[in-house]
């Protein structure tokens, strides 16, 4: 009876160690997703702070393009709202609107030589474009972390520990195809 009890205790200890290893791995994945989201959040905040400066600079030259400027600011507010709520789905749609608005703003700016030549506008345009590229890069890291997390919490035996401790799936940060298309400059001036 002593050997059977020892084997049972040994097996229970192995199961406990196995559960702890899986649990710690899942915690690490969850925090990787959070860290990846934080990296995007920092860049979104930086861009959020730069956009009013860009719009104000453009407003000084673009008296007849009020709709374009207002769409950028409305989209900026929608991105900020989705970001504050942590709503990844709404953020994707708001980002789409903002990217389209910025694309339109930059395309319309081509018709204003004084604006294009303005050093502040050029600097802000380059800064925001750089932030857009960094956001795209961080989005890849975020989506990779989300994908790894979501796969692990569905795989056996990790699914047992994930369900027991309430680990959840995260949503990918996706943008509509329109955000990756070129802006039709002819349509803007037609």
Given this structure, which CATH class describes domain 2-189? mainly alpha
How far apart are the C-alpha atoms of 44 and 90, rounded to whole Å?
Answer: 14
Q: Average pLDDT of 123-136?
A: 89
Alpha-carbon distance values, 87 to 33, 101, 147, 186 (Å): 14, 21, 17, 35
How far apart are the C-alpha atoms of 69 and 12, rounded to whole Å?
Answer: 65
Query: How do residues 32-80 score in pLDDT, each as one tens digit?
Result: 999 999 999 899 889 888 888 888 888 777 766 777 888 888 888 998 8
Number of Cβ within 10 Å of residue 40's Cβ equals 21
pLDDT of residue 9: 94
Cα 14 → chain centroid:
40
Where in the chain are the domains? 2-189
Arithmetic mean of pLDDT over the chain: 85
Place 176 in a pLDDT band, splitting at 50, 70 and 90: low
């Amino acid at each position: 009876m002593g050997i059977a009890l020892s084997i049972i205790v040994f097996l229970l200890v192995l199961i406990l160690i196995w559960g702890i290893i899986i649990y710690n791995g899942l915690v690490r994945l969850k925090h990787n997703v959070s860290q990846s989201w934080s990296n995007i959040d920092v860049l979104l905040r930086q861009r959020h702070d730069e956009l009013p400066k860009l719009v104000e600079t453009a407003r000084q030259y673009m008296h007849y393009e009020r709709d374009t400027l207002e769409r950028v600011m409305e989209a900026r507010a929608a991105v900020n709202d989705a970001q504050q709520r942590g709503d990844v789905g709404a953020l994707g749609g708001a980002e789409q609107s903002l990217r389209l608005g910025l694309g339109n703003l930059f395309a319309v700016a081509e018709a204003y030589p004084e604006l294009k030549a303005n050093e502040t506008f050029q600097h802000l345009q380059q800064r925001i474009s750089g932030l857009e590229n960094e956001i795209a890069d961080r989005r890849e890291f975020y989506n990779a972390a989300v994908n790894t997390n979501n796969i692990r919490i569905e795989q056996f035996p990790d699914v047992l520990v994930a369900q027991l401790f309430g680990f959840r799936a995260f949503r990918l940060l996706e943008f509509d195809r329109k955000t990756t298309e070129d802006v039709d400059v002819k349509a803007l001036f037609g």
